[in-house]
Amino acid sequence: MAEFTYNATKHNATGPAPFEADMGRVTRLPRDLLAPTVRTHSESAGQYAQRMMLDLRMLRERLEEAQFSMTVEANKHQQPHPFWIGHQVFLDTRKLPGAYVNMAKAELGKSSRKFQHLYVEPFRLLQEAKPNAFVLHIPKG
Q: Is a pLDDT exceeding 70 seen at residue 6? A: yes
11 DSSP assignment = P
- 27 within 8 A of 8, measured Cβ to Cβ: yes
Residues 81-134 pLDDT 10s: 788 888 998 888 777 765 665 554 444 455 566 667 778 888 899 988 887 788
Residue 64 binned pLDDT confidence (cut-offs 50, 70, 90):
very high
Rounded distance, CA 33 to CA 49, Å? 19
Q: Is a pLDDT exceeding 90 seen at residue 68? A: yes
CA–CA–CA angle 133, 74, 76 (5° rounding): 95
CA–CA–CA angle 91, 94, 71 (5° rounding): 90
CA–CA–CA angle 61, 65, 71 (5° rounding): 140
Residues 9-49 pLDDT 10s: 787 777 888 777 777 767 666 666 665 555 545 678 888 88
